[in-house]
Amino acid sequence: MVKAGIVGFLPEDKSDVWEFFKWCADLGYKAIDMDLSYAAPGEDLTESASRLRNLGLEPLTMGCPGDFELAVGRVAEIAKKAHAQGIKRVTAYSSSISKSIHEGYGVHGTYDEMMRDFEYMNRLTELFDEEGLTFCYHNHYHEFITVYHGVNAFDHMLYNVDSRLKFDLDVGWV
């Protein structure tokens, strides 16, 4: 049986997060696709990571704001939290391409906004690399259905981002 990591869907109030993690581990999962500053806010990150690993789960990635201009200013803070948990990857889960996640179905950014995002993604790739971290992008369906100049946004991303950027492919959308 294939075991995969659990994506960041938690109890809404996060009150039962450790019971949820134990349930996931009991099912045979080996990892979570989230960090503990998100999943268990307010707790000591190093202790929480140890507690998670004692359950048999590995925290795989640290979240990065989809507002990449904001993210550039938060690299040191994000890196500190990632290192405290032993996490090696930082993942962005949205961009101007996927505005509809927050602004309504069918809303996507402009070509210029997308290209500006790619510039910031390249900068973030450099900055996280300097911190010993790998920058990743998690796709949704938007990147495949949004088309600029006859090319879908995902292909634009492949052509325009630093080759060190890794993809956290959500195969449900691919």
Q: 15: domain CATH number?
A: 3.20.20.150
**Is 121 a domain residue?**
yes
For residue 1, is it within any domain? Answer: no
Alpha carbon separation from 161 to 37, 114, 147, 153 (Å, rounded): 28, 11, 17, 12
- Give the domain extent around 71: 6-168
Give the integer Cα–Cα distance in Å for 66 and 150: 25
Query: Which stretches does DSSP call E strand in 19-105?
Result: 31-33, 58-59, 61-64, 89-92
**Prediction pTM value:** 0.88
Q: Which residue has the higher pLDDT, 172 or 112?
A: 112
pLDDT tier for residue 108 given thresholds of 50, 70 and 90: confident
- How many alpha carbons lie under 13 Å from residue 110 in its C-beta half-sphere? 3
pLDDT > 90? residue 90: yes
Which pLDDT score is estimated for 1?
44
Decide if 174 is inside a domain. no
* Residue 27 forms part of a structural domain: yes
Q: Decide if 95 is inside a domain.
A: yes
Share of the chain above pLDDT 90, in %: 60
Number of domains in the chain: 1
pLDDT of residue 140: 86
- Kindly state whether residue 26 falls inside one of the protein's structural domains: yes
Residue 93 lies in a domain: yes
End-to-end CA distance of the chain: 22
Residue 60, domain member (yes or no): yes
C-alpha closest to that of 57 among 42, 73, 74, 40: 40
